[in-house]
Structure formats: C-alpha cells, structure tokens
Amino acid sequence: MAEPQVGYVLDCPCGSRLTGDGEDDIVETAFAHLREKHPDMADHYERADILAMAIRSPG
Ligand SMILES: [Zn+2]
C-alpha cells in the first residue's frame, strides 16, 4: 500500500533542477548532485537544509 507521496523540486543555483518523489528521495538526489557537481559544498548541507530549499510540487 503506497501512501500518497509529495513531490519535491529543488532548483540548484547551478541551474540544475532536481526532483524527488518524497523527502528521502529529494534529499538523496540532492546529496548525489552535490557530491558530483559541488563536492566542496556537500559537507556543508544537512537533510534539513535540503528540505528547506526544496519546494513541494503538487501532484
Ligand atoms: Zn548544482
């Protein structure tokens, strides 16, 4: 049984649009992006920071 999931969108300052199907997914996606594209920034962010920047997208 799947609970309704909230989609998230996070526009990275570098221009990449990251999307996730839920909190865990957007956090995972964002950290993967940070480690790949902005390794010097990855250590400065925590889950709460990612979720603070992410925007809930309806649907
Ligand atoms: Zn980026």
CA 22 – ligand 1 centroid, Å: 19
Where does residue 22 rank: exposed (0-12), middle (13-18), buried (19+ CB within 10 A)? middle
CA 40 – ligand 1 centroid, Å: 11
The Cα–Cα gap between 50 and 4 comes to 21
Digit-coded pLDDT (tens) for 5-58: 689 999 999 999 999 999 999 999 999 999 999 999 999 999 999 999 999 987
CA 57 – ligand 1 centroid, Å: 19
The Cα–Cα gap between 44 and 57 comes to 25
CA 2 – ligand 1 centroid, Å: 30
CA 38 – ligand 1 centroid, Å: 6
33 token code pair? 């992006």
pTM across the whole model: 0.85
